[in-house]
A and B are shown apart, each in its own frame.
Chain A
Amino acid sequence: MEEITKKYWKDYQKEIADDNFYYERSCIRQSFFPGSEAAFLKILREILGKNVIDDPNQHTCTGIGYHSDIVPFDTTMTVVARIFSLMKDHGVNNFIPSCVTSFGIFNEVVETWNHFPEEYEKTKHFLKQATGRDFEIPQNISHASDIIYKYRKELKEKMPYRLVNRHTGKPLRVVEHIGCHYSKLFAKKSEGGMEFSKVLVGMIEEWGGEVVDYPERRHCCGFGFRQYIVMANRGYSVANTKKKFESMQPYKPDFIVANCPGCAMFMDRWQYTIAEMEGTTYDDNKMGIPVLTYEEMAGFLLGFNPWDLGLQLHQVQVEPLLDKIGIPYDPKDKYVGKSGNFLGEPEKPENLITVYGK
Chain B
Amino acid sequence: MENKKSVLIIGAGPAGISAAKSLADDNVNVTVLEKEHSFGGNINNWAKLFPNFKDAAEVKSQLVQNFENNKNIKILYNKKVTELKKHNQKWIANTSDGEVFESNATILSTGFKVFDAKYKEELGYGIYPNVITSVEFERMYKDGKIHTQQGSVPKRIAFLNCVGSRDEKVGNHYCSRICCIAAVKQAIEFKELYPESEAFIFYMDIRMAGQFYEELYRKSQEKHGVVYIRGRISETSSTIDKKVQIKAEDTLAAMPLRMTVDMLVLMVGVEASETTTILSKQNNIDGPYGFAKSIDIHTADNYSNENGLFLAGSCKRPLTLTESIADGKSAAFSVIDYLKQTK
Quick one: given A1-B288, A2-B171, A6-B171, are A214 and B240 in contact (CB under 8 Å)?
Answer: yes
Q: Which of A195-219 contact B (CB under 8 A)?
A: 195-196, 213-218
The answer, yes or no, to whether B289 is at the interface (CB within 8 Å) is yes
Is A215 within 8 A of B245, CB to CB?
A: yes
Contacts of A215 in B (CB 8 A): 237-239, 245
Let me know if A9 is at the binding interface, CB within 8 A: yes
Within 8 A of B (CB), among A1-55: 1-4, 6, 8-9
B237: chain A residues within 8 A (beta carbon): 213-218
- Per the bound structure, the CA–CA distance linking A216 and B118 in Å amounts to 20
Highest count of chain B CB atoms <10 Å: which of A194, A195, A213, A251: A195
A236 to B: closest C-beta gap in Å: 14
Residues of chain A lying within 8 A (CB to CB) of residue B209: none
Smallest distance from the beta carbon of B232 to chain A beta carbons, Å?
Answer: 15
How many angstroms from the CA of A250 to the CA of B242 in the assembled complex? Answer: 13
**Known A4-B171, A215-B245, A218-B235; contact A9-B121, beta-carbon cutoff 8 A:** yes
A193 contacts the other chain (CB 8 A): yes
Residues of A contacting B: mostly: loop
Taking a contact as CB atoms under 8 Å apart, the answer to whether B121 and A193 are in contact is yes
Minimum C-beta distance from B319 to chain A (A) = 20
- B145 CB → nearest A CB, Å: 27
Bound form: Cα–Cα A218–B288 in Å: 35
Taking the closest CB of chain A, its distance from the CB of B256, in whole angstroms, is 12
Minimum CB–CB distance from A212 to chain B (whole Å) comes to 10
Separation of A8 and B288 alpha carbons in the complex (Å)? 23
Minimal beta-carbon separation of A73 from chain B (angstroms): 25
| Shortest beta-carbon distance from A287 to chain B in Å | 22
Contact of A8 with B171 in the complex, beta carbons under 8 Å: no
Minimum C-beta distance from B238 to chain A (A):
6
Residue of B nearest to A2 (CB): B171
Q: Which residue of B lies closest to A194 (CB)?
A: B121
- The answer to whether B170 touches A6 (Cβ under 8 A) is yes
Contacts of A195 in B (CB 8 A): 121-122, 235
Chain B residues near A2 (CB-CB < 8 A): 171
B123: nearest residue on chain A (CB-CB)?
A195
- B204 contacts chain A at the CB level, 8 A cutoff: no
Q: 1/0 per position for A240-255, CB-CB distance to B under 8 A?
A: 0000000000110000
Does any Cβ of A come within 8 Å of B212's Cβ? no
Which residues from A are CB-within-8-Å of B238? 213, 215
| Cβ of B245 to closest chain A Cβ, rounded Å | 4
Contact with B along A170-211 (1 / 0, CB 8 A): 000000000000000000000001111000000000000000
B-side residues, CB < 8 A to A, are: 116, 118-119, 121-122, 127, 170-171, 235, 237-240, 245, 288-289
A194-B122, A196-B121 are known; give 17 further A-B pairs, CB within 8 A: A1-B288, A3-B171, A6-B170, A6-B171, A8-B118, A8-B119, A8-B121, A9-B118, A9-B121, A193-B121, A196-B127, A213-B237, A214-B237, A215-B237, A215-B238, A250-B240, A251-B240
Shortest Cβ-Cβ A-B pairs, 6 listed:
A9-B121, A4-B171, A215-B245, A215-B237, A195-B121, A250-B240
